[in-house]
A = this chain, B = another copy of it.
Amino acid sequence: MSSKNVDKTQKSENIDIKYIARVSGVSSSTVSRALRGDPAANKKTADRVLKIAKELNYYPNLLAKGLRDKKTKTIGIILNDLKNPLYYETIKVIEEILNDIDYSMILCDSNFDLRLERKNIITMLSKGVDGIIISPVNIESENIDLIRKQGLNTVYIDFAPEFENVNYVHVSHEHAAFIATEYLIRCGHKKILLLNGPSQLSVSEDFLKGYLQSLKNHKLKVIKQHIISTELSLESGYKAIKKLFPSKEPGNLNDFTAVLCLGDMLAIGVYKASKEIGFKIPDDLSVMGYDNIFMTSYLSPPLTTIHAPKIRIGELGIKILLDRIEGRDKESHRIILDVRLVERESVKKLT
């Protein structure tokens, strides 16, 4: 066997192009050409070199290559909340597409924190990614200026800033909140609690707008106490409801008959709290989610929610990014995808 050539147990030198060159008795440029299938290489020599490279278990140093040609076949994914199942489908489909074409992805989480986001962007820049897909903390921030100034290929998801030549793929949170609220009203709900995200987040602003728009549409009064800002997590949804009913008495429940949540995770928190308090969904309380994460159809009762096309966002986002990176398409793409209501069993028809 050729294993004695291959043996790396002794602290031998790295197996690089130069090493292969020495073993094959050619120059490193010839090896490089052979390895890359450069037609300028003699077929016979190339085959011999290739064989030796294989025997030696050669693999290229992509840092060196990246340093030289300023391409790393690496994409950065910067998200805001890796804990949220919302993103899993998107990540999965992006990974599949990238894997197919020998790209890889660096994944990180900004946790809705501008400082962290900045750090992540700089890491991506430093590590030489060819582009990023980012769910930004906010649509107006120095971080976005940074991305632009550095000319980093970027596709925004979730929500996005607006400027010349921007690329984004997301749904309209305003529209989502609007159709959700419209549906609740159509079902006879007139007092709707909005479980919104932190007010400084763009997504919360948008969501609130849609909610207000719908109320206005139906000349319903806006009740301040019915708009709650909270973190976008299960735990927060749970706490928000528990806080409203500290006494475990459904005393003031007639204050509102439905809850609209910015995200299914909040809705699941509402389920949890309701169970503890003893509210029956949807009889005592109707719940409307947003995102349609996979598990919502298995909740009891199955959650009525607004479906966001997470897979499509991933597919389109990465396609746009790759087209741009590989120079196939330098156009700006602004894509707002449709959202749709998924009617299940968590909203009671009062009419």
A241 to B272, CA, bound (A): 30
Known: A268-B298, A298-B268, A300-B300. Is A126-B61 also a contact (CB below 8 A)? Answer: yes
Instruction: Verify B109–A106 contact, CB threshold 8 A.
Output: no
A60 to B125, CA, bound (A): 9
Instruction: Verify B92–A83 contact, CB threshold 8 A.
Output: yes
Q: Is A1 an interface residue (CB 8 A)?
A: no
Give A271-287 as 1s and 0s: 1 = Cβ < 8 Å from B's Cβ atoms: 11000000000000000
Name the B residues within 8 Å of A57 (CB-CB).
146, 149-150
Name the B residues within 8 Å of A105 (CB-CB).
106-108
In angstroms, how far is the closest chain B Cβ from the Cβ of A134? 14
Q: Is A164 an interface residue (CB 8 A)?
A: no
Question: Smallest CB-CB separation from A110: which chain B residue?
Answer: B99
Question: Smallest CB-CB separation from A98: which chain B residue?
Answer: B108
Instruction: Verify B74–A106 contact, CB threshold 8 A.
Output: yes
Q: Is A346 an interface residue (CB 8 A)?
A: no
A82 to B105, CA, bound (A): 13
Known: A85-B85, A92-B82, A99-B109. Is A61-B128 also a contact (CB below 8 A)? Answer: yes
Q: Is A295 an interface residue (CB 8 A)?
A: yes
Give A1-37 as 1s and 0s: 1 = Cβ < 8 Å from B's Cβ atoms: 0000010100000000000000000000000000000
Name the B residues within 8 Å of A299 (CB-CB).
298-300
A59 to B118, CA, bound (A): 12
A106 to B57, CA, bound (A): 22
In angstroms, how far is the closest chain B Cβ from the Cβ of A317? 16
Question: Smallest CB-CB separation from A275: which chain B residue?
Answer: B298
Instruction: Verify A104–B123 contact, CB threshold 8 A.
Output: yes
In angstroms, how far is the closest chain B Cβ from the Cβ of A92? 5
Question: Smallest CB-CB separation from A88: which chain B residue?
Answer: B88
Question: Smallest CB-CB separation from A15: which chain B residue?
Answer: B150
Instruction: Verify B104–A108 contact, CB threshold 8 A.
Output: yes
Stretch at the interface among A63-71, A194-202, A206-214, A253-261: A63-71
Give A40-83 as 1s and 0s: 1 = Cβ < 8 Å from B's Cβ atoms: 00000000000000000101111110110000101000000011
Name the B residues within 8 Å of A126 (CB-CB).
59-62
Name the B residues within 8 Å of A106 (CB-CB).
74, 104-107
Q: Is A349 an interface residue (CB 8 A)?
A: no
Q: Is A249 an interface residue (CB 8 A)?
A: no
Within A112-144, the residues touching B (CB, 8 Å) are 116, 119-120, 122-123, 125-128
Top 10 A-B pairs, shortest CB-CB distance: A300-B300, A295-B295, A62-B126, A63-B67, A63-B66, A107-B107, A82-B92, A63-B128, A62-B127, A63-B63
| A and B contact pairs by CB, cutoff 8 A, 11 listed | A8-B150, A61-B67, A63-B63, A63-B127, A67-B67, A99-B109, A104-B123, A105-B106, A106-B106, A298-B300, A299-B300
